[in-house]
């Protein structure tokens, strides 16, 4: 049974339905990593998006216990060339079917990447009905992925981290639990006053899906919390902190998505391969007039990959130090955050 | 500071060290010169591109001994040494130079990875200590330097165990021992093979999955993984002998990141600057791994990783060695992003090894830790099935339609025999067992340890070919699984053309996609393509006149790196003419599959279907086949039938030279003597032909590489013994035991340019590829040489052929017989080119496209004094069971060239620094029938520890010859060569001269 993914630009790519769910709308993005499909599909940052995998065989090593970034598959739809069985019981295809997530296989994902490279990330629709309505957007997506209540992780004694949840990945929380912290994940709209009541020693502003500019109402709150405690912002968190301190954000033509993005620490010259998944970026010029300074830059396009507050302990990273999927060297960011909390100072400054 | 860098190459091709080091060495030289360095190159292998005078500033083609290395250093006074692009040979020589104090004496600094790091990686005990410090898990192991030390390990850990000799190439002398007895035998052999008499004895982890990581690290500490790879065979089969997929297929992201992080810890702790290869064993179901091996240099695997991803490891590694940073180097594939990134593939790459087993009777085909493959074929596809089947056919593996025809009727026991002790045919036997319903996938998984993921792939191949392939959907799926029209045709019992017609009716055609390192994420203009049946084609045919060059495919005995040399030179010659060059080749080791060489590169199997698909996509009519060895020649008929134009040649001329009746008729017509002979079609024909011709005689099939299936029959008893192995039709010739000579020349169809004659030391009957050759001739009179040149002119005028031409002669008494005319470039072209300084392939290419010799070749011929001597190099040690006896079947894998003022070179039997200890031996032992030396009966008990050379040629002494080889002894089985050896022992070593000074006439001998 054939289906089609139609992009906003009008371009269409045919495929074969692998699932009984046969309709999806969402922003179409691509992932170039050759491993990590389970992590990607369960990453709340991809909530509401249709993810196209460029590696032609997806599902080849089955499902791995403990690899999911949240309890459920988050993506709106999946585009692959071959949904591979791996000869084992833990099959990706079955899980996608049970989760009601539509999958099209036989899709020319390489040409799709060409199209996205040319016209930028865009809205798309997976359907068999070519007359289906095309409207929709990702606004208010945060509400659907953020925790509705406080959730405690770990019982470490090194400190208490409050995580403002804009769509946090499990491995991000896990990274701090492993470093001896108790982490309380709270709804994204938790007020500064409510945060103070939790008596945190550090703040994690999490990753998440959508356009950071849709969250302008919460910027004052984020800034107030960040100025009060050592703070780490990751991906969406990085962008929100940047906005809160006066930076500008722009949509990239096509985002950084994959496990192989080189990032340079401009202070030390150190280069890391990083896992990334973002379609918006902090403009480099806008940093100048703010209390934030550049700490990390992308080696290829020199875009902003992370900042440091000039006076207080606030560290932000556009990339995903928790990886999962992807390279582990950027995990050092969590060690820095740990030091910031322990010393109460900005260790990079 | 001006840097003058000595680059050490890898010497002659041997099993375990092939064309990959010509690719890496050439890239290194280019990168060094781009960075403004003056390059001194030292390599004894004349068949390489890297030893072309244009690649380095000072090129030394000399025996790769410590002594010669020191002389070169004395002459050139390099400031730096690059030792990590010439394989184990270069590393060993660099270590020897350091230990001899030469590097210190001349103040030479090592570029990139330090010698200490190299020692940490190579010396098993130091390596173990280093890994223990890092907490990286290693299999339980111990280092032994005597056989007694094995007792303790066996009592503690037991068998099975693995023996790995230190400092050897491709695991020479190693193996897995299942029993205590076998352990002692193997360990004894391993200690003999190791130049420092040291072996690692290791707990066997056979059954674990095997992965390789190609790591780069710069001096700033930035690390990247260019590519990881997975062996389809579990640990136990050498990675060079295994089918390999890139990227890894059965690793989860978590496990991949674990191994990636471990790789970074290891290269950082070792202080690697440049490229490094790390091998891991991973438990098939649990999250446990072991580090198997670390190679702190570029390798066969790094060449494969470079070609599989497009990322030029050797070039970037050289720049890192010069101190550049990964984030300062531009990624030459995208030209817009930096080299500090990790390639993302949107295809699967498969590598299939090629083995020499079919060339020899009685070879042990089982695979183990000691590498036996001579070469490899690479292919890309969108599915595992497609990549694997393309790589299989590129390696010449017979699939009818899935597996070799004998497997369709073989007993189950015969198929299981291929599996229980893995052979090169194990995967095909799995297919046959599945297809014939003899075994289930899970049974085969249990027997082989091959992951279920791969076994289900085999099952899919089996079910796909049995589907109704006349429907569009099924046919498309078969194509996407890599089945050729010919395979499908066999299954459907129709012709391949009929399948093609059906395919076109269904609108199923191949597409070509770019290898861009980034899965299309960034714009890229790399002209590097692979074919597949999924997606959109990215090829834009060029406007200029274009020529496709057929490469020579995987390296096999008889078809080696010299054909890659020729292919690359043909590309360069055409480029000078402004022609767009389209290279088609599938050997990942070579220079020709570097995407910067031709205007467009297609990595595709060299079968008629795959080649024609490329020609169609490019709209290319003109094809150059004469530089790709027998691979190109074998496509001639089919290409012509399909309407393509062969430059310089026709299928008819090729046939005329190969078909013995037509060939003899041709020679008769032009009045040139040939050896009496005829074609026979049955055993009766054969006996009556022998009756007419008399003993001795030679039998052989046509169109073969390396004398495959060729025998010399001296007596009726021989005939009786050999006849059952023959298949008809056959050629039978009288055996004329004269002196053999060879010419490589260029013809424009009217006149022929003969640059030099090569004279063979051994009597005719020894395959020319295995012979020692001298140029100019020393025993052939001037009158005879003149006569030979006249014959060459006669042949050139009569032959409807333009381009490179190779002719072989036998001189007996006053008669000059023509043995063979090859209308193609030959093995010896690069040698003649380097000795004479004349660009023969360039000239041959110009002739092939129609230029006249008078306009190509300068009037002034080079003046000669002195000699050049080519000597073969054998890989006998790697092929147990193969009698080290020269004869009509070629056995050598490589060659060296040396220049001398006399016809004798003292380093006649030296090919790398690891043989130094053998070079110091002087004792000669002779077996039966060598009355002029000694004449003693040899057997397995003969002691070879202090022997330099063994003269032996009677069949009964095979075991003694094999024992000699295992002890590093050179075996000489031909009387003229034995005499030459005696003379050579008296010769003084010649001083060194660079090719450049010789060719400008400043230095002797040329």
SS (H, E, C) chain A: CEEEEEECCCCEEEEEECCCCCCEEEEEEEECCCCCHHHHHHCHHHCCEEEEECCCEECCCCCCCCCCCCCCCCCCEEECCEECCCCCCCCHHHHHHHHCCCEEECCCHHHHHHHHHHHCCEEEEEECCCCCCCCCCCCCHHHHHCCCCCEEECCCCCEEEEEEECCCCHHHHHHHHHCCEEEEEEECCCCHHHHHHCCCCEEEECCCCCCHHHHHHHHHHHHHHHHHCCEEEECHHHHHHHHHCCCCEEEEEEEEEEEEEEEEECCCCCEEEEEEEEEEEECCHHHCCCCEEEEEEECCCCCEEEEEECCCCEEEECCECCCCCCCCHHHHHHHHHHHHHHHCCCCCC
- From the number of C-beta atoms within 10 Å of its C-beta (0-12, 13-18, 19+), residue A347 rates as middle
A267 vs B: CB within 8 A: no
For residue B417, is it left (φ>0), alpha (ψ between -120 and 50) or beta? alpha
Per-residue DSSP letter, B197: S
Residue A340 CA to residue B418 CA, distance in Å, equals 62
Residue B1005: predicted pLDDT = 44
CA B988 to chain centre: 33
**Token code pair at residue B473:** 């959907």
Question: Which residues in chain A are closer than 8 Å to B520, comparing Cβ atoms?
Answer: 54, 110, 113-114, 117
Q: Are A192 and A213 in contact (CB under 8 A)?
A: no
A266 vs B: CB within 8 A: no
pLDDT of A87 > 60? The answer is no
Q: Residue B254 is nearest to which of A64, A117, A260, comparing CB atoms?
A: A64
Residue B836 CA to residue B843 CA, distance in Å, equals 13
Q: Are B280 and B259 in contact (CB under 8 A)?
A: yes
Instruction: Check CB contact under 8 Å for B257 and A30.
Output: no
Q: How far is A8 from chain B (nearest CA, A)?
A: 20
Instruction: Check CB contact under 8 Å for A32 and B519.
Output: yes
Residue B628 CA to residue B824 CA, distance in Å, equals 8
The β-bridge relationship of strands A122-127 and A2-7 is antiparallel
A342 vs B: CB within 8 A: no
Instruction: Provide the 3-class DSSP secondary structure of residue B39.
Output: strand
Name residues of chain B where pLDDT drops below 70: 168-172, 703-705, 906-919, 935, 940, 1001-1006
Per-residue DSSP letter, B524: -
Phi/psi for A120 (5° steps) reads 85, 165
Question: Which residues in chain B are closer than 8 Å to A33, comparing Cβ atoms?
Answer: 253, 344
Question: Which residues in chain A are closer than 8 Å to B452, comparing Cβ atoms?
Answer: 86-88
- The residue behind tokens 């010659």 is B573
User: Using one digit for the tens of pLDDT, what is the confidence trace for B879-898?
Assistant: 888 888 899 899 999 999 99
Q: Residue B342 is nearest to which of A54, A108, A260, comparing CB atoms?
A: A260
Q: How far is B354 from chain A (nearest CA, A)?
A: 27
Q: Residue A258 is nearest to which of B325, B521, B534, comparing CB atoms?
A: B521
Q: What are the b/e assignments for B573-594, b being 16+ CB within 10 Å?
A: bbeeeebbbbbbbbbbbbbbbb
* DSSP per-residue letters across B952-973: ---GGGHHHHHHHHHTT-EEE-
* DSSP per-residue letters across B555-601: -BTTB-HHHHHHHHHHHHHHHHTTPEEEEEE--TTSSTTSTTTSSEE
Residue A340: predicted pLDDT = 94
Tell me how far CA of residue B110 lies from CA of A93, A296, B28, B167, B300, in angstroms.
Answer: 53, 34, 14, 20, 22
- Which residues, including other chains, have CB under 8 Å from residue B727's CB and lie 6 or more apart? B701, B709
Instruction: Provide the 3-class DSSP secondary structure of residue B745.
Output: strand
**Token code pair at residue B391:** 């790589």
User: Counting one residue from A and one from B, how many pairs have CB atoms under 8 Å apart?
Assistant: 152
Q: How far is B339 from chain A (nearest CA, A)?
A: 9
Q: Are B380 and B605 in contact (CB under 8 A)?
A: no
Phi/psi for A232 (5° steps) reads -120, 130
- The residue behind tokens 């060194």 is B992
A90 vs B: CB within 8 A: no
Q: How far is B542 from chain A (nearest CA, A)?
A: 22
**Best CA proximity match to B611, nearest among B632, B589, B580, B590:** B632
Phi/psi for B513 (5° steps) reads -120, 155
Question: Which residues in chain A are closer than 8 Å to B257, comparing Cβ atoms?
Answer: 323, 325-328
Residues of A annotated as catalytic are 235, 320, 322
Q: Residue A33 is nearest to which of B251, B252, B344, comparing CB atoms?
A: B344
**Best CA proximity match to A108, nearest among A81, A140, A72:** A81
Residue B765 CA to residue B767 CA, distance in Å, equals 6
Which residues 18-77 of A have a C-beta within 8 angstroms of B?
30, 32-36, 38-39, 54-57, 60-62, 64, 66-67
Alpha helices in B857-953 (DSSP H): 916-919
Question: Which residues in chain B are closer than 8 Å to A64, comparing Cβ atoms?
Answer: 252-254
**Sign for the pseudo-dihedral over CA of B890, B353, B383, A7:** negative
Tell me how far CA of residue B30 lies from CA of B79, B158, B323, in angstroms.
Answer: 18, 50, 16
Question: Which residues in chain B are closer than 8 Å to A66, comparing Cβ atoms?
Answer: 254
CA B152 to chain centre: 40
Instruction: Check CB contact under 8 Å for B250 and A61.
Output: yes
Whole-model pTM: value is 0.95
Residue A122 CA to residue A28 CA, distance in Å, equals 6
Q: Are A150 and A186 in contact (CB under 8 A)?
A: yes
Optimal mutation site among B521, B524, B529, B532, interface A, most CBs of chain A within 10 A: B521
Residue A270 CA to residue B238 CA, distance in Å, equals 36
Smallest CA–CA distance from A53 into chain B, residue: B346
H/E element, B227:
strand B223-231
Instruction: Check CB contact under 8 Å for A30 and B455.
Output: no
Q: How far is A167 from chain B (nearest CA, A)?
A: 21
Instruction: Say whether the peptide bond before residue A25 is cis (omega within 30 degrees of 0).
Output: no
Question: Which residues in chain A are closer than 8 Å to B523, comparing Cβ atoms?
Answer: 117
């Amino acid at each position: 049974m054939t289906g089609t993914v139609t992009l906003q630009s009008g371009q269409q790519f045919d495929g074969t339905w692998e699932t009984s769910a046969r309709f999806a709308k969402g922003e179409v993005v691509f992932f170039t990593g050759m491993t990590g499909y389970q992590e990607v599909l369960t990453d709340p940052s991809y909530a509401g998006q249709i993810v196209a995998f460029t590696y032609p065989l997806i599902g080849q090593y089955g499902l791995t216990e403990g690899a999911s970034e949240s309890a459920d598959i988050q993506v709106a739809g999946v585009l692959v060339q071959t949904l591979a069985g791996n000869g084992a019981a833990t099959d990706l295809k079955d899980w996608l079917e049970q989760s009601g997530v539509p999958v099209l296989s036989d899709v020319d994902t390489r040409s799709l990447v060409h199209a996205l490279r040319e016209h930028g990330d865009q809205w798309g629709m997976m359907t068999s009905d070519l007359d289906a309505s095309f409207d929709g957007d990702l606004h208010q997506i945060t509400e659907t992925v953020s925790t509705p209540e406080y959730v405690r992780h770990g019982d470490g004694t090194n400190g208490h981290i409050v995580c403002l949840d804009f769509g946090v990945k499990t491995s991000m929380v896990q990274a701090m639990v492993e470093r001896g912290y108790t982490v309380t994940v709270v709804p994204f709209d938790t007020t500064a006053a409510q945060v103070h009541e939790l008596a945190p020693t550090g703040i994690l502003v999490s990753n998440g899906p959508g356009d950071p500019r849709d969250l302008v109402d919460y910027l004052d709150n984020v800034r107030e919390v960040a100025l009060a405690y050592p703070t780490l912002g990751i991906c969406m968190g990085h962008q929100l902190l940047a906005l809160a301190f006066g930076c500008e954000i722009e949509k990239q033509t096509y985002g950084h998505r994959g496990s192989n993005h080189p990032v340079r620490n401009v202070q030390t010259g150190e280069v890391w391969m990083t896992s990334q998944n973002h379609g918006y970026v902090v403009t480099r010029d806008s940093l100048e007039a703010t209390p934030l300074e550049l700490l990390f830059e992308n080696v290829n396009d020199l875009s902003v990959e992370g900042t440091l507050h000039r006076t207080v302990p606030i560290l932000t990273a556009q990339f995903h130090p928790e990886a999962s999927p992807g390279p582990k060297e950027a995990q050092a960011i969590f060690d820095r955050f740990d030091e910031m909390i322990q010393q109460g100072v900005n260790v990079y400054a | 500071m001006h840097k003058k860098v000595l680059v050490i190459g890898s010497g002659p091709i041997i099993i375990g060290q092939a064309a990959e080091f010509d690719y890496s060495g050439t890239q290194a030289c280019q990168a060094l010169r781009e960075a403004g360095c003056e390059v001194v190159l030292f390599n004894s292998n004349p068949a390489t591109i890297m030893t072309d005078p244009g690649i380095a500033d000072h090129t030394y083609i000399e025996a790769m001994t410590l002594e010669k290395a020191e002389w070169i250093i004395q002459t050139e006074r390099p400031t730096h040494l690059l030792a990590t692009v010439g394989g184990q040979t270069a590393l060993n020589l660099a270590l020897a130079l350091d230990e001899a104090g030469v590097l210190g004496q001349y103040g030479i600094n090592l570029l990139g990875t330090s010698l200490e790091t190299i020692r940490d990686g190579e010396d098993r005990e130091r390596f173990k200590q280093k890994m223990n410090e890092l907490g990286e898990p290693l299999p339980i192991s111990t280092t032994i330097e005597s056989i007694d030390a094995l007792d303790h390990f066996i009592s503690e850990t037991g068998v099975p165990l693995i023996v790995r000799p230190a400092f050897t190439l491709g695991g020479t002398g190693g193996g897995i021992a299942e029993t205590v007895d076998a352990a002692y035998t193997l360990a004894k052999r391993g200690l003999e093979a190791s130049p420092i008499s040291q072996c690692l004895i290791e707990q066997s982890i056979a059954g674990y999955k095997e992965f390789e990581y190609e790591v780069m690290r710069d001096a700033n500490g930035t690390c990247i993984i260019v590519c990881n790879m997975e062996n389809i065979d579990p640990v136990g089969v050498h990675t060079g002998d295994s089918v390999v997929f890139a990227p890894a297929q059965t690793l989860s992201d978590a496990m991949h990141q674990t191994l990636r992080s471990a790789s970074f810890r290891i290269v950082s702790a070792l202080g690697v600057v440049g490229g490094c290869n790390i091998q891991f064993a991973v438990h098939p179901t649990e999250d446990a791994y072991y580090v198997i091996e670390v190679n702190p240099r570029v390798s066969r695997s790094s060449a494969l990783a470079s070609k599989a991803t497009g990322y030029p490891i050797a070039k970037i590694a050289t720049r890192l060695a010069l101190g550049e940073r990964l984030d300062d180097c531009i990624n030459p594939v995208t030209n817009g992003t930096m080299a500090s990134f990790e390639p993302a593939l949107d295809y699967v790459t498969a590598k299939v090894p090629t083995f020499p087993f079919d060339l020899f009777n009685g070879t042990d085909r089982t695979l183990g830790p000691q590498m036996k493959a001579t070469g490899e074929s690479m292919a890309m596809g969108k599915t595992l099935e497609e990549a694997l089947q393309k790589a299989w056919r590129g390696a010449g593996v017979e699939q009818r339609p899935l597996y070799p025809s004998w497997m369709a009727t073989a007993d189950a026991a015969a198929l299981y025999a291929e599996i229980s002790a893995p052979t090169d045919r194990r995967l095909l036997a799995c297919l046959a067992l599945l297809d014939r319903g003899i075994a289930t996938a899970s049974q085969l998984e249990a027997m082989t340890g091959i992951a279920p993921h791969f076994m289900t792939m085999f099952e899919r191949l089996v079910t796909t070919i049995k589907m109704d392939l006349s429907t569009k959907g099924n046919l498309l799926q078969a194509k996407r699984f890599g089945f050729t029209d010919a395979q499908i045709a066999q299954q459907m019992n129709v012709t391949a053309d009929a399948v093609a017609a059906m395919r076109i009716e269904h609108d199923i055609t191949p597409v070509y996609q770019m290898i861009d390192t980034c899965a299309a994420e960034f714009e890229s203009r790399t002209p590097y393509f692979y074919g597949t049946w999924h997606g959109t084609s990215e090829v834009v045919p060029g406007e200029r006149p274009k020529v496709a060059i057929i490469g020579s495919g995987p390296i096999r005995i008889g078809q080696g790196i010299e054909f890659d040399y020729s292919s690359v030179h043909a590309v360069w010659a055409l480029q000078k003419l402004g022609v767009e060059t389209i290279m088609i080749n599938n050997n990942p080791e070579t220079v020709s599959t570097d995407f910067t060489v031709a205007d467009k590169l297609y990595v595709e199997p060299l079968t008629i279907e795959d080649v024609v698909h490329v020609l169609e996509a490019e709209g290319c009519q003109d094809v150059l086949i004469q530089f790709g060895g027998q691979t190109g020649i074998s496509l001639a008929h089919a290409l012509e039938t399909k309407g393509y134009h062969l430059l310089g040649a026709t299928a008819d001329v090729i046939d005329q030279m190969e078909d013995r009746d037509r060939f003899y008729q041709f020679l008769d017509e032009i009045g040139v003597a040939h050896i009496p002979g005829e074609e026979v079609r049955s055993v009766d024909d054969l006996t009556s032909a022998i009756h007419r011709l008399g003993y001795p005689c030679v039998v052989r099939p046509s169109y073969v590489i390396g004398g495959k299936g060729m025998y010399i029959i001296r007596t009726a008893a021989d005939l009786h013994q050999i006849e059952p192995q023959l298949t008809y039709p056959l050629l039978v010739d009288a055996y004329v035991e004269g002196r053999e000579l060879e010419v490589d020349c260029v013809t424009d169809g009217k006149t022929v340019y003969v640059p030099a004659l090569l004279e063979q030391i051994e009597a005719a009957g020894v395959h020319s590829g295995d012979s020692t050759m001298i140029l100019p001739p020393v025993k052939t009179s001037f009158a005879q040489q003149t006569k030979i040149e006249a014959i060459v002119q006669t042949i050139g005028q009569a032959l409807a052929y333009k381009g490179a031409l190779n002719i072989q002669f036998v001189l007996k008494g006053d008669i000059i017989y023509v043995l063979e005319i090859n209308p193609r470039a030959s093995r010896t072209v690069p040698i003649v080119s380097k000795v004479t300084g004349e660009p023969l392939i360039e000239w041959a290419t110009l002739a092939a496209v129609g230029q006249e010799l008078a306009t190509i070749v300068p009037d002034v011929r080079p003046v000669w004094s002195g000699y050049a001597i080519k000597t073969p190099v054998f890989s006998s040690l790697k092929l147990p069971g193969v009698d080290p006896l020269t004869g009509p079947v070629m056995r050598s894998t490589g060659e060296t060239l040396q220049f001398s003022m006399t016809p004798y070179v003292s380093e006649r039997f030296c090919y790398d620094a690891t043989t130094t200890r053998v070079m110091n031996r002087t004792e000669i032992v002779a077996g039966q029938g060598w009355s002029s030396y000694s004449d003693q009966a040899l057997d397995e008990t003969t002691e070879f520890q202090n022997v330099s050379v063994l003269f032996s040629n009677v069949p009964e002494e095979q075991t003694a010859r094999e024992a000699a080889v295992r002890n590093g002894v050179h075996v000489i089985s031909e009387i003229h060569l034995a005499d030459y050896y005696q003379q050579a022992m008296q010769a003084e070593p010649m001083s060194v001269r660079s090719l450049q000074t010789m060719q400008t006439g400043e230095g002797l001998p040329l």
